[in-house]
Amino acid sequence: MTTEPVRGVFGMLRFLVNSAGLLLVWLIIVATITRLAEPSDAVLAWFPGGFDPVHLEDGARILSANGSLATLTSQGESGWVAGIYRSGARVVLPVRRRSCLALSRD
């Protein structure tokens, strides 16, 4: 891509498709790293059928839940992100326990 202005509808469409593709690749990379390395102490999980805490494995704790999204954490056990996928989550991404504007650490 160049820094020239986008030319016409096809140029804009190409830009949107490329941007969506890059975003998808980035999400896949982050989700894979989260699954394999568990770099965060909390995760945001998307359950397409709605979040049901009954199916959640023992090692995970619920921080918040809203419809099909749930913020979950663990007691420090390894493999807890894989357990969230086994519970029915389609996408699991790392998040902070508190907002990014929090001045103190958990």
Let me know if residue 52 belongs to a domain. Answer: yes
Let me know if residue 2 belongs to a domain. Answer: no
Compute the distance between CA of residue 51 and CA of residue 72 in angstroms, rounded to an integer.
11
Encode pLDDT of 68-86 as tens digits.
999 999 877 788 888 899 8
Let me know if residue 104 belongs to a domain. Answer: no
Whether the predicted pLDDT of 100 surpasses 70: no
Let me know if residue 105 belongs to a domain. Answer: no
State how many domains the chain has.
1
| pTM reported for the whole predicted model | 0.73
> DSSP letters along 2-27, please?
-SSPP-HHHHHHHHHHHHHHHHHHHH
In which domain, by residue range, is 68 found? 8-95
Inter-CA distances, 6 with 20, 35, 43, 49, Å: 16, 38, 37, 39
Let me know if residue 1 belongs to a domain. Answer: no
